[in-house]
Amino acid sequence: MLIAITGTPGVGKSTVANLLSTKYKVIDINSYAKRNGLLEEFDVELGSYNVDTNKLNDSLKYKTKSREVVFLDGHLSHFVNCDIIIVLRCDPNTIYKRLKQRGYSLRKIQDNIQSEILDIILSESVSSGTITSEINCTNLTPPETARIIEKAIKNPSLFPPGSVDWSNEIDKWF
């Protein structure tokens, strides 16, 4: 059973994935792609590598057949054919602070904030046709988020998409 943990950079995916890794297998998509030669050319504007999502998909296909719960951590993980997609959401102001601390360029921070406000990853996830849960973890501790993810994989309908709306943030940022 393959579960994608996705969301805009800075929402807290890797932090919660790290907690989940004490109980479950977790694959960090970025390092997995690097190790398996699935990185494409460097995108100078974005300041990151593109990933060949078709090859990524092929390479992880066998995992969905297993009963073992395997989490995928990464903002591209929802492009992998998986059983459930968990989209983590976070207030744009918090994302701003976190990405600034990470040393991202203003352009890259703005791109990510825009993507969060416009629900880009949520929309991509829902349109994949895979069962999708949405969790606003702005005011949750990482252990609380981990517990909610465990609930969501048992019953994804408890956390349906559409619960988060950052549209009142648009004027502030753009």
Query: What residues line the site for ligand ADP (CB under 6 A)?
Result: 7, 9-15, 98, 137, 140-142, 145
- Rule CB under 5 A: is residue 14 a binding residue for Mg ion? yes
- Rule CB under 5 A: is residue 18 a binding residue for Mg ion? no
Euclidean distance between CA atoms 130 and 163, whole angstroms:
18
Q: How far is the CB of 144 from ligand ADP (least distance, A)?
A: 8
Neighbouring-strand partners of residue 88: 135
- Binding site partner of 15, from ligand ADP, Mg ion, none, Cβ cut-off 5-8 A by kind: ligand ADP
CA-wise closest residue to 7 among 71, 80, 70, 89: 89
Q: Which residues contact 88 (CB under 8 A, 6 or more apart)?
A: 5, 6, 7, 11, 12, 13, 16, 135, 137, 145
Q: How far is the CB of 68 from Mg ion (least distance, A)?
A: 22
Euclidean distance between CA atoms 79 and 58, whole angstroms:
11
Q: How far is the CB of 18 from ligand ADP (least distance, A)?
A: 8
Under rule CB under 5 A, how many of the chain's residues touch Mg ion?
Answer: 2
Q: How far is the CB of 33 from Mg ion (least distance, A)?
A: 13
Which parts of this chain interact with Mg ion (CB under 5 A)? 13-14
